[in-house]
Amino acid sequence: MTRPLLYSVCTGNSCRSPIAEGLARAWGEGRIEAVSGGLEAHGLNPRAVETMQEIGIDISHQASTTIDLGLLTSADYAITLCGDADERCPWTPPSVKPIHWGFPDPAKAQGTEEDMRNAVRPVRDGIGAPVRAFIEEIGPRS
């Protein structure tokens, strides 16, 4: 049986979509294939890496990349994580189910280092809820 491909998309592929990819990989336990891409590549946000490490998930090996159109059009699901990506995400064939989970961009947070880290945590946790539900819909491990 082929694993469904979940493609997470946000504007810069620096925070929200790498978080979604990391959560899906870790929690999906091999039941799904998870990738991410951005309309642009802004570099992996170190605060996203740190806040994921807080919950035991390492995304430091992930790269901030632009959308791979070949992979996107062969995905089973394309999840946009911000309004910008939802509006500007490239067209996908009917075989790709579009899903939108909108979250604010924590990379735009300002203030102290702790303020900026604190802006990532609720987004990480907010993305976590639909990722868990998505994985539960796929069904149990074989």
Query: Catalytic residues, which ones?
Result: 10, 82, 89
Q: What is the DSSP letter of 29?
A: T
Q: Are strands 77-80 and 5-10 parallel, antiparallel or unpaired?
A: parallel
What is the spatial distance between Cα 40 and Cα 35, in angstroms, rounded to a whole number? 15
Give the tokens for residue 141. Answer: 């491990």
Question: Which residues lie across from 37 on neighbouring strands?
Answer: 9
- With b meaning 16 or more CB within 10 Å and e meaning fewer, what string describes 37-65? bbbeeeebbebbbebbeeeebebeebebb
Q: Tokens 């992930």 map to which residue? A: 62
How far does CA 75 lie from the centroid of its chain? 14
